[in-house]
Amino acid sequence: MRLKNIKGAREAVEHNPLVILEPEGLKGRWRESFGNNHPLYVEIGMGKGKFLYEMAGINPGINYIGIEKYSSVLLRALQRMDEKPLSNLLFIRMDAENVEKVFGEGEVDGIYLNFSDPWPKERHAKRRLPSREFLKRYDKFLKKEGVLEFKTDNKGLFDFALEELSPAGWEAVKVTFDLHNDKEMAEGNIMTEYEEKFSSKGNPIYKYIIRR
Ligand code: SAM
């Protein structure tokens, strides 16, 4: 998602106290920033933040961090927080390529990837967020028994993501090729912005839950 560059977005994001500008400095100390000892879940490639904002509203006993690359997109998530703030949600504007520098070993309880960019050219495979290169990064900070949940409507990306598991030392706990018609996995499902858009066109939604 690359919204048109919104004038002033970069500055607005940088002046918002909910956006952590030097997240590496909090590595291993994220619970202090939230002022509690609650579990920590991270969405990488959050977009405008619909999913994470709703999750944080439903689960006040869990802390959430949304990571997004673009200021113009992140700004939309911040606007939701202006309307109705939540104390358990913070944001980082960064390229997730360096995500392992931000969280300490075992600091994160769960990771969400939702409708990650497909990067269809083979030479860009390493940029795909469910690629083995990224799984190795997540391995460094996801706690031992933690899980990663990935949803997409892109069959090619989903097949790729499944193939990446074994070489990276991960295994599927649950897999569905039609989330919205899978009674067990659909229970409590919070739709993301892209999920609403693509499922309304009739596209099936693929999802896995994985662990090491
Ligand atoms: N997760 C949202 C949803 O499901 O509605 C947004 C999906 S959108 C297709 C993908 C988002 O991930 C975009 O906003 C994009 O800027 C962000 N993104 C892609 N690669 C990223 C990276 N390496 N680091 C941080 N954000 C990234």
Give Cα separations from 107 to 52, 75, 95, 191 (angstroms): 18, 26, 19, 26
* Helix boundaries (H) for 3-131: 9-14, 30-34, 50-58, 71-83
Among residues 150, 117, 127, 15, the alpha carbon closest in space to that of 71 is found at 15
Protein residue closest via CA to atom 14 of ligand 1:
47
Say if residue 4's pLDDT is above 80: no
The answer to whether the CB of 171 falls within 8 A of the CB of 212 is: yes
Instruction: Round to whole Å and give the CA distance between 92 and 78.
Output: 11
Among the listed residues 82, 95, 109, 117, the single catalytic one is: 117
Residue ID of nearest Cα to ligand 1 atom 11:
45
* Ligand 1 mean position, distance from CA 84 (Å): 23
Radius of gyration of the chain (CA): 16
* pLDDT at residue 5, rounded to an integer: 79
pLDDT band at residue 196, thresholds of 50, 70 and 90?
Answer: very high
- Structure confidence by residue, pLDDT tens digits, 42-98: 999 999 999 999 999 999 999 999 999 999 999 999 999 998 999 999 999 999 999
> What residue has token string 């358990």?
88
Q: What angle do CA 147, 152, 155 make, to 5 degrees?
A: 115
Q: Does the pTM of the predicted model rise above 0.95?
A: yes
The rounded Å distance from CA 52 to ligand 1 centre is 13
What is the tens place of the pLDDT at every residue in 127-140?
Answer: 999 999 999 999 99
